[in-house]
Structure 1
Amino acid sequence: MTHWTRRALLFTLSAAAAAATLTAAVTPVAHGSPAGRAAPPLAPPSSLMSPGTSPPSFTSPAMSPPSLMSSSPLVWRPCEQPAGAPVPAGGQECAVLRVPLDYGDPGGRTVEVAVARLRTDRPDARRGTLFVIPGGPGSSGVQRLAQKGEALRAATEGAYDLVSLDPRGVGSSVRAGCGIPAADRHLVTLRSWPAPDGSTAANTERSRRTAELCARNGGPVLRSFTTENEVRDLDRLRGALGERKVSLWGSSYGSYVGAVYAQRHPDRVDRLVLDSTGDPDPGRVAYGWLANMAPGAAERFPDFAAWAADPAREAEGLRLARRPGDVQPLFLALARQLDRHPRASDVPSAPLTGNLLRQALQNALYSDAAFPRLARLVKEAQDPRGRPVLPPELAGPLPDEDASMTVAAVCNDVRWPGPASGYARRVAADRARHPLTAGMPVNITPCAFWTYDEEPRPTRMTDEGPSNILMIQSLRDPSTPLAGALKMRAALGERARMVTVGQGGHGMYLGSGNACGDRVVSDFLVTGARPARDTHCPN
């Protein structure tokens, strides 16, 4: 598993991040950059537009689509692959889009955003362009297109050119680092897991240290990692493509980005799919999303418990208990034991602690496909002679730029409660109410100490706009639970319809295996038809 996967799991708002396996990553070289420019494993393409095509021309600026005249043309080329990696059969192309670092100063410094495209294989059926918006914050849109592009192109019957970008701070897009020490860049330290006794003192000091480093070293690039700028960059991309309207499929945090885009530019959206959506309350946004993970994990855990107690696990050596109701007490007791006596793991510098086990659980709840690995880790930790094998995303620190981006993206968007606002009290209450997450979702983060150039103003979702939105949502989502998604549904009113899916997990469209849910979304993207009212697809 790559460092990108670890990064995207930090705030568990990305369905792609939870995947247990990843496809080969594209590693393009940016137009105008040195030929040997190194790109991270999930790096995106360079900035170039397909041979033989040219930007659309218009007789006057008045005839131009919004933002088109201010957007530089894209030059597309086949995405370069890592040495020895097969070239994707679909022919994914890569480009670089230049955007203003600060949209308040459009004539000032520009930065690069990496873009990828998978063109329709049925030109006669082409309806337009569909933006694939990744989750995170911190997930790669270029990589998501490589993962999902072929399935999405088939599901939508070639109706779209599929396009995605790596948000600022991700992949081969513009990057910035805070200089966070390696010990603070592990997933289990970037997440604010309280000490075994519930103390938050170490979390507070680490959060203060990280915020101060980002304020000192991140600069204007790090401060530009916001939802608003991702929305602006998407609209700049729409203009560069010559499209008056685009359709969008946003997953997890990407669904919030898509909703903000539709709120800002309702006349530029054809069809919008919001997949696994968080509470849009503008006063809480990222803070509320993290807090909602506690009830989300509690709602999802019974799926793992039923799986782990199933007699079918016996032959696999993964059965944890005879009854589903016994799995949670077993897990909690093991975590407490590891709090007191961490176990040496296969990584000499990273013993298996109680919090590391709890973090492994959080990651595994995203997808049923991750259940076997979690059960195996529990079995290994129970064996006095065993040496637990850590999941790759928990085995070492993230690169500084990845850790810095993830922190900045959630802190820049909304002002979080300050350090004196009662975090220790909230942690104590949440630990008692939701022992699986042990108070982490409501604990202090660097955002409590964050500094701002100007006060953030998150977008308020409303029911004003066309009725062209379809939501798809799991009933048991560990990251964006149904209660939060219902608040987005209520805010959008008649603009939206929702289809709930009986499958537990995070990221439903083309990810859950629920044929009914996939069919409803695909039909909407192809024909525009939505259910007459909110509906449910059983598992």
Structure 2
Amino acid sequence: MNRIAFIGAAALISLSATPVAAHAATAWTSCGATGGLDPRQECTTLQVPLTYGKPGGGTISLAVSRIRTARPGLRRGVLLLIPGGPGSPGLSRPSTMVKRLPSAVLDRYDLIGFDPRGVGQSSPVSCGLAHEDLAPSRLKPYPSAGGDISENVAYARRFSEACARNGGPVLRSISTRNEARDIDVIRRALGEERLSYWGVSYGTYAGAVYATMFPGRTDRVILDSNDDPDPGQVARVWLANYSLGVEDRFPDFAAWAAARDDEYGLGTDAGAVRRTFLDLAERLDHAPIAWPGANPPRLDGAALRETMLNALYSDTGFPGLAGLMRAALGSGPLPEPSSAPDAALQNGAASVAATICNDVEWPSSAGLHRRLVARDRAAHPLTGGMPVNIGPCAYWPYRPAEAPVRVTSQGPSNVLLVQNLRDPATPYSGALRMREAFGSRARMVAVDSGGHGSYLVNGNACGDDTVTSFLVTGRRPARDTICR
């Protein structure tokens, strides 16, 4: 995860849950040009309630950024960029998206970024996990050889106990409902009557919750790569959906690798590549290969499956996965491992856990999870049972303070969903449930493509033009469409 190393010396303003005057004394300063930031990006810090509904309960800092439109005469308002994750920072997103968004959009909106509470520069949280417990194949609960989850149970307890000791009140305050409330504080601080926004991945759920809690304050809403908003499960179903998403997406990689069998030697057709992957993962479960510099310093089946999952997010990840498989099969040294700094992983792990555990209750039975893992491994062997395995939420020290939001059709018809048909992380089947929940409020444009992230990612002119037209003119398709 990228983090902004510097925010300019922004003035603090105190905002309660009551309305504030337009542009209420919000002081913006340059964020600086460090970390590849666009020099036009400005930063500020807002104060938001630690606990909404308790005015005397203290405040926390929320880091916000913007790049103003270069054509104020055409300005419609702001476009808030809601980051994914959960736990991903968003402060640098205006600098990233100003390079990608069409000029017609940039002419009409100030781009607004923010780090959600607990993330990056917004009163960051940490559970103080040991370095070994920050391993990617532990942060996602991959079972051991044969589907054994004993280590996962011990890890889940260790993680939740560390959060209870070290997380503090900010960790307890993190939830999607509170992110929606924080977003509304941003809206008021900007002096905007209504808010347009573009939420991606987890940002689609946060955006859907905002549109449900504050329907009259929404303008044009883009939700890209959509989570299933099932109020009975929330993130439990998001994790479970990895099983479906990877099965949808893996054939794209398999066909790509089969067309390059002379280079990688993984199989001459997609079925052979799948068998190669499954056989290799099982072999590595029982006989890992030393992988100096990795955490842990070995390539086992869990590390291979996690590499595969990440590679499926974009076609650009295919060569790295194929090269790792080729090396593991004995055709060369393993590539240099890459990982984020521990500090970023600490913050990300804590904020992810806080969001998903504080939003909804999770089952704590290890026996239940053993049965779920056994069934899922048989039905969806590529992910090895990880999506339904036990995690820290099973032993989380806090209960949800509020019930999850039920997304409904109550509100203005101003939502456009954009979705790849073969998304490994937020599969199309889950996106259809988001579409169903919004009812007449939404339209969906589905793109016949693979990977995570759709608008301005795939080069699909039909999908991109539909989203751009909505942002610029407010016009959506009369009915749901699929862009082939």
Q: 1:411 and 1:343 mapped to 2: Cα distance?
A: 34
State the Cα distance separating 1:149 from its structure 2 match: 2.5
Deviations 1:283-326 (A, max 9, x none): 11001100011011011000001111114x74xx3453211221
Query: Of 107, 111, 126, which residue of structure 1 is paired with 2:60?
Result: 111
State the Cα distance separating 1:270 from its structure 2 match: 0.5
State the Cα distance separating 1:390 from its structure 2 match: 4.6
Match of 1:181 in 2: 130
- 1:318 and 1:372 in contact (8 A); partners too: no
Secondary structure in structure 2 of the residue aligned to 1:441: helix
State the Cα distance separating 1:487 from its structure 2 match: 0.7
Match of 1:9 in 2: none
Amino acid at match of 1:535: T
Q: 1:380 and 1:502 mapped to 2: Cα distance?
A: 32
Question: Does 2:167 align with 1:215?
Answer: no
Cα 1:213–1:395, aligned 2, differ >3 Å: closer, same or farther? closer
Match of 1:253 in 2: 202
Cα 1:199–1:155, aligned 2, differ >3 Å: closer, same or farther? farther
Query: Of 302, 326, 334, which residue of structure 2 is paired with 1:355?
Result: 302
Match of 1:478 in 2: 424
Amino acid at match of 2:100: A
Q: 2:269 and 2:184 mapped to 1: Cα distance?
A: 52
**Between the two proteins, what is the percent identity of the paired residues?**
48
State the Cα distance separating 1:462 from its structure 2 match: 0.7
* RMSD (Å) for aligned C-alpha atoms: 2.3
Amino acid at match of 1:344: A
Deviations 1:93-128 (A, max 9, x none): 111111111112123311111111011122111111
Question: Does 2:267 align with 1:267?
Answer: no
Query: Of 72, 88, 97, which residue of structure 2 is paired with 1:123?
Result: 72
Q: TM-score, normalised by structure 1?
A: 0.85
Query: Of 81, 85, 88, which residue of structure 1 is paired with 2:38?
Result: 88
- 1:501 and 1:536 in contact (8 A); partners too: yes
Question: Does 2:414 align with 1:465?
Answer: no
Question: Does 2:119 align with 1:170?
Answer: yes
Q: 1:233 and 1:487 mapped to 2: Cα distance?
A: 26
Question: Does 2:22 align with 1:73?
Answer: no
Match of 1:405 in 2: 351
Match of 1:515 in 2: 461
Query: Of 450, 454, 467, which residue of structure 1 is paired with 2:396?
Result: 450
Secondary structure in structure 2 of the residue aligned to 1:142: coil
Question: Does 2:99 align with 1:146?
Answer: no
Question: Does 2:355 align with 1:377?
Answer: no
State the Cα distance separating 1:346 from its structure 2 match: 4.0
State the Cα distance separating 1:144 from its structure 2 match: 2.6
State the Cα distance separating 1:67 from its structure 2 match: 2.4
Match of 2:183 in 1: 234
- 2:37 and 2:92 in contact (8 A); partners too: no
Q: 2:50 and 2:342 mapped to 1: Cα distance?
A: 32
Cα 1:323–1:451, aligned 2, differ >3 Å: closer, same or farther? same
Cα 1:421–1:248, aligned 2, differ >3 Å: closer, same or farther? farther
State the Cα distance separating 1:154 from its structure 2 match: 2.2
Amino acid at match of 1:229: N
Query: Of 206, 214, 227, which residue of structure 2 is paired with 1:278?
Result: 227
- 1:123 and 1:158 in contact (8 A); partners too: yes
State the Cα distance separating 1:402 from its structure 2 match: 2.8
Match of 1:19 in 2: none
Match of 1:62 in 2: none
State the Cα distance separating 1:225 from its structure 2 match: 1.6
Query: Of 361, 380, 393, which residue of structure 2 is paired with 1:434?
Result: 380
Deviations 1:146-187 (A, max 9, x none): 222232252515110110110012111101222212211111
Match of 2:173 in 1: 224
Cα 1:496–1:86, aligned 2, differ >3 Å: closer, same or farther? closer
Cα 1:193–1:420, aligned 2, differ >3 Å: closer, same or farther? closer
Deviations 1:204-237 (A, max 9, x none): 1110111122122212111112111111111001
**Which runs of 5 or more structure 1 residues have no equivalent in the other structure?**
6-24, 32-45, 50-54, 56-64
Match of 1:27 in 2: 5
Q: How does 1:307-326 map to 2 (within 5 A)?
A: 307-311=256-260, 314=262, 317-318=263-264, 320-326=266-272
State the Cα distance separating 1:26 from its structure 2 match: 4.2
State the Cα distance separating 1:71 from its structure 2 match: 9.1
Match of 1:414 in 2: 360
- 1:475 and 1:482 in contact (8 A); partners too: yes
Question: Does 2:170 align with 1:192?
Answer: no
- 2:50 and 2:173 in contact (8 A); partners too: yes
